[in-house]
Structure 1
Amino acid sequence: MFIRDGRIVLDAEMDDVGQRYTELLVNADQLETARALKPIDERSLAFGKTVMLFDGVPRDQLSTLGETRIPGLADLFVAIMKGTYA
């Protein structure tokens, strides 16, 4: 459970979190296509790569754009608490 400003912003079982959220490592040539899927957060890395966090987008759809994985709890916490997702 994540609480921000006295409001619950995430209340889910860990298994559900692993199925619901996906992190995508995408190259610059697929960046706009990935952005069209409305990530809840993104951050730039070296060498033109970007890490994006998605909520509810099918993992098989994202895997056509780059490398996918289940996000770490810390990454999910930071993305949600930044206020870009509530």
Structure 2
Amino acid sequence: MSKHSTTHQRQVWLIFFCLGIIMLNFPFMQVFNRLDTLFGIPLLIFYLMVGWPLSIGVIYLFSASLEERTLPKRDTTPDRELE
């Protein structure tokens, strides 16, 4: 891995961390703390039930894409039989 890609990876993780902090911060959650319901579920609970797994899914997809880029390329040519 080059130094540039390692720096880029750290920046992306920092962005994910900051977005998670913002997502769970009081002023942002106060927006969803109303008496309204969605599918019979209070809006704040619905926000947490959807937002939390969604953020975990995005982080998982990012991690999976990093693993694909860092794995060594495998030779896909078929092996020849020895004569």
TM-score, normalising length: structure 2: 0.21
Higher-Rg structure is 2
Structure ranking higher in helix proportion:
2
Which has a greater percent of strand? 1
Query: Which TM-score applies when normalising by structure 1?
Result: 0.21
